[in-house]
A and B are shown apart, each in its own frame.
Chain A
């Protein structure tokens, strides 16, 4: 399956600052990538679908001006958490769908802590 990397793996930032998370598809050209958020002991929550060369599609309740997504190439999507607050602290994971089954291959995730 697709090999997906994320950077950084962990980040601690102060409230009010912005944080950029990168998701790279290392061996597969991805026109679509998914961004998820997972709070402790909860399931994955889809935040948005990142589309190469066009605007991302956000799920209901996700603020597009707060969570900026850029999918500038077929191998890179970025998620920027703007003006971060402690409640944004979470595990952010990207995934790349591949193959006839459209199964999703996940990056290792980014643990964001906002102090």
Chain B
């Protein structure tokens, strides 16, 4: 079967660092995506990993270990506007995205 697991909710403090984990079991793998979704809005693309390792993009970094079926999204210097849901998605062998349920991140002052 196909399964993607993320924590349901996380809380962090403004200015701090937070790591959101994603574990997966899927049939076929053509990459892992992270999307940000603010309440009531559509998701926006954050990052893509297909090879093992860390991809850094400004305050956001994403890591992938294919052998462990594991990824994380690292957010640094948290800002209040980072309060959102973060969705982990796997692209399967048919180039369709399989979505995790998302992690709601709450930033406190």
Contact = CB atoms under 8 A, between A and B. Distances in A.
Interface in B1-47: 30-31, 33, 40-45
Contacts, number: 42
Contacts of B30: 102
A13 B42 CA distance: 22
Interface in B53-96: 87, 91, 95-96
A101 B101 contact: no
B42 A43 contact: no
A78 interface: no
Interface residues of A, number: 21
Contacts of B33: 103
B96 A43 contact: no
Nearest to B8: A41
A49 B44 CA distance: 19
A58 interface: no
Contacts of B102: 43
Contact of B42 (A42, A101, A102, A108): A108
Interface string A73-115: 0000000000000000001010001000111111111010000
Contact of A101 (B40, B41, B48): B48
B97 A46 contact: yes
A43 B100 contact: yes
A44 interface: yes
A43 B2 CA distance: 15
Given A44-B87, A102-B91, A109 B42 contact: yes
Interface of B: 30-31, 33, 40-45, 48, 87, 91, 95-97, 99-102
Given A45-B99, A103-B33, 15 more contacts: A42-B101, A43-B101, A43-B102, A44-B43, A46-B97, A46-B99, A49-B96, A97-B95, A102-B30, A103-B45, A104-B97, A106-B42, A106-B44, A107-B42, A111-B40
23 contacts: A1-B45, A34-B96, A42-B101, A43-B87, A43-B100, A44-B43, A44-B87, A46-B97, A46-B99, A49-B96, A93-B42, A101-B31, A101-B48, A102-B91, A103-B45, A103-B48, A104-B45, A106-B42, A106-B44, A108-B41, A109-B41, A109-B42, A111-B40
